[in-house]
Chains A and B, each alone.
Chain A
Amino acid sequence: MAGAKTRVAVHKFSSCDGCQLAFLNMGEALLTLFEQVELVHFAEAGPLNPGTVVDISFVEGSLSTAADLQRIRAIRANSDFLVTLGACATAGGLQALRNIADKGDWVASVYATPETISLLENVTPISAQVKVDLEIHGCPVNSRQVTATLRSLLAGITPLDERDKLCLECKRRQHVCVMVTQGMPCMGPVTRTGCGALCPGIGRDCYACYGAAENINMSSLGRHFSTLQLNPAQISHRFVSFNSADPAFTPEPAADTARDD
C-alpha cells in the first residue's frame, strides 16, 4: 500500500448507522487519516462510489434481504480487504432476533406494504455469505478500535484481535465489580473487551454489546445468574440481544465451553 493513498470504502446494510460514527467522531485525526487514505465511498459522510474497486472496505450492518446478498458479493469482489464494523455486520445485531421470532408477524407490524419486502429466511452476519478478513466487534464500535485497525492495516501488520474478557479491562481500570458487590447480572465474564468497561465504570452491569469473548463459560454464568434471582427467560435474554447470531452465544447444553482453535 506504499506510494498512492490507500483507497477505503465504508458500506452499510441493515443497521442504525451508529458504527460509522466511529469514523466521523475521530475529529482532527481525520485530517491525519486523509493524508494516507482516499475515502472513495462513505454515504454518511458524502462520497458516493458504491461500485468502485478499493483496498479496504468497512462494512456495517447485517444481511436481511435478497438485494443485500447481491450487493455484498459485489463489495467483496471489489475489495482487497473486507472488515466488518460492529455487532450487526459481525454477529447479526438486534435485527437477527427475528430469526427466533415469527418473521411474517414482525414484517406486517412494521411495514405498511409487507408484500414489497423480500426477506431472507434469516438475518445473517456478513461472514455467513462472503469471506471476511477482519471483524471489529461492538454495538457500536468506537474510534479507538477503528483507529487501531487502520493504523495496523496501513502499516501492513495484523490488527490485534481483542477477545479477552471484559473483566480484565474492568479490573485494570480499578472499577469495583458490580456483580460481587451488588449482585447485578453482569455479562463481563463472557463479553469481549474493547469498550473500556464503560458500563461497570458507571455502576451498571455489562450487557454484552461487544459480543462473546474467547473461551467463555455460559453455563456457569447462567447458573450464577439463577442464584441472583433471574428466571430462565431473563437469563436467556442476557445472552440473546445484540449478538444473537453469534454461535458462541447460542445455548447448547453440551457445547457451552467454546474452545480456542
Chain B
Amino acid sequence: MEAPRSASRFLPRKAFDTLLSALRDGGYDCAAPVVRDGAVVYTRLQAHDLLPSGISIQQAPGHYRVEFTDSPRNFSWANGPQALKPFVFTASEPLWSVRRDPDGELRFTEADTSQDPVAIIGVRSCDLAALALQDRHFLGGDCVDPHYQARRASLFLVAVNCSHPSDTCFCVSTGDGPTASDGYDLLLDELDDGFVIQAGSSAGQNLLERLPLASPTGKQLQDITRQNLHAAECQARRLPPGNLEPALFANLDHPHWQTVAERCLSCGNCTSVCPTCFCYRELDRGSLDPDRSEHVREWDSCFTQGHSYIHGVTIRAGTDLRYRQWLTHKLGSWHSQYGRSGCVGCGRCISWCPVGIDLTEEVAMIVGGAS
C-alpha cells in the first residue's frame, strides 16, 4: 500500500514543541522515548514535558548501555526493548468476565475495548514493518481481533528515519530499514538544527498544516540523504538473503540446534522483545468469590513448556526443539503463512538475550553462509 506523501518541510528544533502541542490539541496523548532504568522506553509525556536529548546507546549481544552526550538530538539512538507491540498487543489483558446471577444464570461480559488516541513519537522503520506484520496476523483474514483492532485504530505514528543504528541492527538485510517507506502519519529526519518532516497520511497532513514550517534548504536535504546512506552502510550484521524456509526445513536434524541449546536459557526474552512475535496463552483468574471469574490472555513464548503441551504431552520438551521452533517459524514458515519472513532486523533478540545468542550467526550456521 503506497502512502500519500507530502512534500518535505522543515521543523526547526526550537519549534519541535509545537508538534507535541498540536498532537495534544488534536486529542492525542503523547508517548515518547525516555530513559528509564537504563533503557529507552516509551512513556506518556505530561504537558510541557520535553523529549530527552543526547541519548546514545551501545548494543552488543546480551548488552545494552545508555550514555548521554551533549548532542541536541532527540533520536540519535536505534531502539529500546519495546517496539510498538506493547501498544497494540498488550502483555496481559482481560478478554471477558463471567458472573453467576442469584438465579444460577451465567452472564458473560466482554472486556471494554475502547481506547484513547495516542501519538507515538520516534517510531523506527523496523517497528513499522513489524506493526504491518502484526496487523496481518491480528486483523487479516476472517477473525479480526477486536482488542488489537481498537488499539491499532487509536494510534498516530510519528516515525523517525534511523540515523544511529546499533551494532546489533540488520534491517538493511531484511529490507525493513533504516528509512521508513510507509505506515506512518508523520516522518522525521533529524538534523542538529531541526527536522525534515513529511506526512504519510491525511491525518498527518492535517497536523502538518498547523506547524510553523519552513522549506528545507538544499544542504539540509543533502545532509539527510548522506545520513540515511550512512545508517544503511554501517550495518555489519545481516541475515542470509531470500526465503530461508526450504533451507531451514531441510536442516531439522542439524547438530547445531543442540549446540545453541547448550547456551540458550529458554527464558523467552527474545520472543518477548521481538516486535512480531504474537503468541499468547489464555487463562482464568478466579477470585475467592465462586460466582465470578475473569478470562485473560497474556504473552506466551515458544520457549515455554506450555506452548507445546497438547493433550497430556509436551511436544517440545528440550531447548533444542524450542529454539528450532522459534527460528524455523520466524525465518521459515512465516513465508508460507504471511508471505515474508517474520524478522524485521531490529536486533532486539540479540541485545536482550541474557547470554547474547545472535540469530544471524545461528541461522548462518544452520543454512550455510556463516563467516
Residues on A lying within 8 angstroms of B by beta carbon are: 26, 29, 32-33, 36, 147-148, 150-152, 154-155, 160, 163-165, 167-168, 171-182, 186, 188-190, 203, 214-217, 219-221, 223-224, 257, 259-261
Instruction: Let me know if B289 and A171 touch, CB within 8 A.
Output: no
Tell me the B3-49 residues at the A interface (CB within 8 Å): 36-39, 41
Point out the residues of chain A lying under 8 angstroms from B267, CB to CB: 165, 167-168, 188-189
Tell me the B338-371 residues at the A interface (CB within 8 Å): 351-352, 354-355
CA distance A147 to B261 in the complex (A): 36
Instruction: Let me know if B272 and A172 touch, CB within 8 A.
Output: yes
Q: A168-B268, A174-B86, A186-B354 are in contact. Are A180 and B62 (CB under 8 A)?
A: yes
Instruction: Let me know if A147 and B288 touch, CB within 8 A.
Output: yes
Point out the residues of chain A lying under 8 angstroms from B322, CB to CB: 215
Instruction: Let me know if B305 and A215 touch, CB within 8 A.
Output: yes
Add 9 more A-B contacts to A29-B287, A176-B41, A181-B66 (CB < 8 A): A148-B286, A151-B286, A163-B305, A165-B303, A177-B354, A180-B62, A215-B318, A220-B355, A260-B318
Q: A160-B283, A168-B268, A260-B305 are in contact. Are A220 and B262 (CB under 8 A)?
A: yes
Number of A-B pairs whose CB atoms are under 8 Å?
145
Point out the residues of chain B lying under 8 angstroms from A36, CB to CB: 288, 290
A124 to chain B, nearest CB (A): 26
Point out the residues of chain B lying under 8 angstroms from A160, CB to CB: 283
Q: Smallest CB-CB separation from B266: which chain A residue?
A: A215
Q: Smallest CB-CB separation from B306: which chain A residue?
A: A164
A175 to chain B, nearest CB (A): 7
A231 to chain B, nearest CB (A): 19
B133 to chain A, nearest CB (A): 19
Q: Smallest CB-CB separation from A154: which chain B residue?
A: B290
Point out the residues of chain A lying under 8 angstroms from B288, CB to CB: 26, 29, 32-33, 36, 147, 150-151
CA distance A176 to B303 in the complex (A): 20
CA distance A155 to B263 in the complex (A): 41
Point out the residues of chain B lying under 8 angstroms from A164, CB to CB: 268, 304-306
A234 to chain B, nearest CB (A): 17
Point out the residues of chain B lying under 8 angstroms from A260, CB to CB: 305, 314, 317-318
Point out the residues of chain A lying under 8 angstroms from B135, CB to CB: none
User: Which among B65, B266, B287, B322 has the greatest number of chain A C-beta atoms within 10 A?
Assistant: B266
Point out the residues of chain B lying under 8 angstroms from A147, CB to CB: 286-288
Instruction: Let me know if A180 and B290 touch, CB within 8 A.
Output: no
Q: A172-B298, A224-B355 are in contact. Are A219 and B63 (CB under 8 A)?
A: no
Instruction: Let me know if B352 and A148 touch, CB within 8 A.
Output: no
Q: List 25 A-B contacts (CB under 8 A).
A: A32-B287, A32-B288, A36-B290, A147-B286, A147-B287, A150-B288, A151-B287, A168-B299, A171-B81, A171-B91, A174-B41, A174-B91, A176-B41, A177-B352, A177-B354, A179-B62, A179-B354, A182-B38, A186-B354, A189-B267, A215-B319, A219-B262, A220-B264, A220-B355, A260-B318
Cross-interface CB contact of A165 among B65, B266, B299, B314, cutoff 8 Å: B266
User: Which among A167, A178, A224 has the greatest number of chain B C-beta atoms within 10 A?
Assistant: A167
Point out the residues of chain A lying under 8 angstroms from B289, CB to CB: 32
CA distance A64 to B278 in the complex (A): 47
CA distance A257 to B212 in the complex (A): 61
Q: A164-B306, A171-B91 are in contact. Are A221 and B318 (CB under 8 A)?
A: no
